[in-house]
Amino acid sequence: MTAFRALLRAETRLFVRDRVALFFTFLFPLIFILIFGFLMGDVDEPEATMGLYVAPAASDEILRPILDASGLDRVVDLESVADLHSAVTDRAVDFGLTWDGEALDFLYHPNRVQENYAFSQIALGIADAFNLRRQKLDPILPVTSIHVGSEASTRWFNQMIPGILAFAILSSGLLAVSGHLTTMKERKTLDRLLVTPMPPVALLAAIASIRLVVVYASTLLTLLVSVVLFDLAFSIDWLAFTLLIFCSTLGTMGLGTVIALVVRRPSSAGNVANVLAMVMMFLSGIYFPIELMPSFLRVVSRALPLTYLADAMRFATGVSDMSFVRFWVIVASFLALALLLFPVLARYVVRPGRR
């Protein structure tokens, strides 16, 4: 037990000195949350200001109530079409509308390509409601949004946070083996440890213990920052959350074993792990919904472990639904990866003299 405590202290010092591991475990999730939070945290609650010109001969009796109910943040009345054009061009308003008694004309800034889609959807709703009201008709079919499942509807940012947590777990697990252990090999530290009576299992247990504590602390810190700074809400199942972190960290360490076996040089192994983690991050539905991807990329996404880890993390944090069976299958799969690959790690990676 004394020897194991010494290993834990040594591994703690090594981890603190590993700047790459510290960055991907602690700073990387926080940086992404701060960037996306401040830039796009309110993407699900857009606010638009519309400029309006009504010709003197036209009546706005029907139009005004529709604009009031459209969800616009503000409607700015302008005295001429030229003033409206200038307001849209100078971005004093987000888009514009003219009503001359015959037609509704909407004006958009040509350079606001991404935002114009949202503005055009608002405009389409205004035009449809105006045409029906003008003809003294009600909508043919009433439309009611109904959310099914046990979880309430959440913001886009709520969905992204668990994905970032999943990526941090993946990076930490991969780098624990492909980066940390191979670096110990290169520096001869591992060889010096293994000539002692200490079994390889003790070293693996020390590495895994430190990673588990660090990853758990990192996820809690990330959740705390997202709640405090961006007023997000999570309904965490702490048992499921803890077991998922435990099993997925061990499972991703097992995946790092494959990289360590194939790529012998420490610097190359770490770079390969980082590249694979980045590729999985963009293809696993963390920042871009899988449903928006081309069909062949959706197939690739469904083959990536990070996709399932992110889905399970969303379930454990209470932002999306999933059957209990599917969740525990994902957790058991990561544990099975660890049980399958850790003996390989102990036999072929954690041994002296391997180059």
pLDDT tens for residues 251-262?
A: 998 888 787 777
Burial of 118 (0-12, 13-18, 19+ CB in 10 A): middle
Q: Which domains does the chain have, with CATH numbers?
A: 2-40+155-349 (no CATH), 49-134 (3.40.190.10)
Q: What is the pLDDT of residue 153?
A: 47
The whole-angstrom separation of Cα 306 and Cα 267 is 23
The whole-angstrom separation of Cα 33 and Cα 184 is 32
pLDDT tens for residues 49-68?
A: 999 999 998 988 889 999 99
Place of tokens 């290993």: 7
Q: The tokens of 218 are what?
A: 């990192």
Q: What is the pLDDT of residue 186?
A: 64
Q: What is the pLDDT of residue 245?
A: 95
The residue ranges of the chain whose pLDDT is under 70 are 1-4, 7, 14, 18, 20-21, 24, 40-46, 138-155, 177-201, 264-267, 269, 345-355
The whole-angstrom separation of Cα 326 and Cα 209 is 27
